[in-house]
Every structure is written in C-alpha cells, then in structure tokens.
Structure 1
C-alpha cells in the first residue's frame, strides 16, 4: 500500500483537500481528529497527571490546556511527549486496517508533518498551498484571531516555501474547489506508478 502524506500550513485548504481524497475512495487518517478523540479517551489521565486541573467530565478542556502551555516551550514538549506516541499508535492501527481492506493508497493528514519528521513514514508528500494573502484572509475568518495569534501560529510552522520545496506534489487551493479536486485526481494517477520509499 502506498502511503501519501498530506500537509499544509493553517488556512491553506488542507482539510478540504483531505475530503477530496476521501471522495475518491482513499482512506484518510486525520491526525487532528485523532487528537480530539484521545482528549476524550486515552490521553485524559496522563494529561491530568502532568497538568492538574485541565480535565473535567472525563475529557481534556482544550481551553484550560492551551492557557497552561501558552508561552511555555517546556510544557508544550511535555504535552507532545504524552500525545504524539498515542497519535502514532492510532495511525499504525489505521494503516493496518487500510492495508487489510486492500486499499492501494492511504492518506496521512498531518498538519505538522515536516515539523515532526513525519515524512519518513510516507512514500510521497502532498503540500496544500495558497498565496500568503489568501492564507491570511482565510485564517482571519476564524473567531478570535488576532495579529499576535497569527504570528505565533506561523512561527510554529515551517515556512510554506520550504514545504513546497520538499513536496512531491503541491495542490494550489487558491484556484477554486474544482481545480483542487482535479489536482487530487492527477496526484492519485501519478502515485499509482510511483515506487514506495518509506524508511
């Protein structure tokens, strides 16, 4: 089975692109959704142990957790040390199930793919991109977005130009949904004949 990594900075249209892969019948693993599920299951106890008071009603209170780790790199690293192994386990389960089902291609939708070295677990990588002004306009549609928040989020992500440079495929999401859908179909045709290269 060919494993395709899907990534892109905030506001680039990655989630929409992931749905286009799913529409083509490709199994898609959404790392963010996996984290949401873990915040109501396996991650609750270890996170409460590390950051007392950030859970309630059997789940992690994301707002309290964000406040606790804001501006504290050591706390963020501590959180990642808890969550990342759980997300990786969920990813392995997903890939095993996709392979068992006979899927020729599976997509790993991982926002911080390059930042966390996730490309080594993929046979090829798709980066979703758009011009900076389009990205900014999309992100500022989110409630509560400020210049400070935007700058802080951008600082945590590898620059878009560097992601595009490393990518095997780039989906330009600024040309409309039909164009992006067509690009996804072209990528699926291309990877059908590509060699696997996972570590």
Structure 2
C-alpha cells in the first residue's frame, strides 16, 4: 500500500485538498477526526482529568475551549496532552488503514512533520497559503481572533520549513481550479490511478 502524508498549516486549505482526493475515490484518513473519536474514550478522559483536572472534561468528552486555551499557551501542557492522545490516534489510524482494501491511502495529519511521521510515508503533500489569507479564512470559518489563530500557528513548524521537507507543495492562494490542476499533476507524478500492481 502506498502511503501519502497530507499536511498544512492552519487555514491553508488542507481539508479542501482532502475532499478533492476523496472525490477521486482515494481513501483519506483524517487524524483530527480520529483524535476527536479517541478523545471520547473513557480511559483517555480519565487520563486527561488526572493530568489537568476534572474541569477539562464534560459528559460529551473533552472540554475543547478550555483545553485549547490551556495547551496553546502552555507548551508543557500541550506535550502532556499530546502524549495521551497521539499514541491512541496512531494506533487507530493504523487499524483503519489495515481495514482498507486499497493500493493507496492518504493520511491527513496536521502535525505530520512535527511528529516525525513523514518518515513513514512514501510521499508528502504540503498545502500552503500566505499567512494573512490563512488568518482571514480561519477567522471566518471558526470565529477565532487573530491572536488565537497566531497562537495556534506558532505551535506548529513554520510553513517555510514544511515546504522544504515536502515531496510536493500545493499553493492555495488563488482559485480552486488552480488547486485541482496542481493536485492532478501530483497524482500523475505518483502514478495515479493506482492499481494493486
């Protein structure tokens, strides 16, 4: 199975590219979605409660606004949370991957390079856009302030470093048609349509 890592900084348009890949029949495993799933696991919640206090969990799962406010300001707390969540996410992603009957899988992972997971991929795609454009998108999409977005962006590897490490880069500052064209080129380079051979 060919494994492709997809990543990008906040507001870059990574989800748009993931959707385009899915529309082509290419399976995409979303690490954020899996993280939300494992975050509802009682054992995970018990560990988070023990590490930070019961006010960081609710009946539905993590108290997301409270957890975000803590971890995006406190690197030690972020490291602790990641040490609880990330191993579970990786185990679940592997399980989902093994259940696929496909010659290729795309793993959509926000912290692909930060977690050293690029070394487990056959190729990596970074989606990128100018900072101001990314900030504007996230303000509209999530209702976050500029300061909140920058705080989150600063916890990640700089976009310039991601571009350097990537096998391929998709620039997402213009039209969707332009993004589609870049994606088509990348898939062609990777040998799509993929076959079992």
Band the TM-score falls in, shorter-chain normalisation: 0.7 to 0.9
1:29 aligned counterpart, secondary structure: strand
- Match of residue 47 from structure 1: 48
Deviations 1:45-103 (A, max 9, x none): 222222221222152211232344453222211111100100110111122122xx1x1
2:154 aligned counterpart, secondary structure: helix
In structure 1, the gaps of 5 or more residues are 194-199
- Match of residue 2 from structure 1: 2
Query: CA contact under 8 A between 1:38 and 1:44: conserved in structure 2?
Result: no
Structure 1 CA distance for aligned equivalents of residues 128 and 119 of structure 2: 21
RMSD of aligned residue pairs (Cα, Å): 1.8
Query: CA contact under 8 A between 1:40 and 1:60: conserved in structure 2?
Result: yes
- Match of residue 195 from structure 2: none
Structure 2 CA distance for aligned equivalents of residues 129 and 80 of structure 1: 24
Q: 1:118-157 counterparts in 2 under 5 A? A: 118-157=117-156
Q: 1:20-31 counterparts in 2 under 5 A? A: 20-31=20-31
Return closer, same or farther for 1:162/1:83 CA change in 2, 3 Å cut-off: same
- Residue 115 in structure 1 maps to residue 107 in structure 2: no
Return closer, same or farther for 1:132/1:56 CA change in 2, 3 Å cut-off: closer
- Match of residue 35 from structure 2: 35
Mean Cα displacement is larger for which, 109-118 or 39-48?
A: 39-48
- Match of residue 15 from structure 1: 15
Mean Cα displacement is larger for which, 73-82 or 39-48?
A: 39-48
- Residue 169 in structure 1 maps to residue 168 in structure 2: yes
Return closer, same or farther for 1:58/1:160 CA change in 2, 3 Å cut-off: closer
Aligned-residue offset at 1:143: 4.4
Deviations 1:21-59 (A, max 9, x none): 111111111011111111222522222222221222152
Return closer, same or farther for 1:173/1:88 CA change in 2, 3 Å cut-off: same
Aligned length: 190
Q: Report the TM-score, using the length of structure 1 for normalisation.
A: 0.87
- Runs of 4+ aligned structure 1 residues displaced above 3 Å come to 67-70
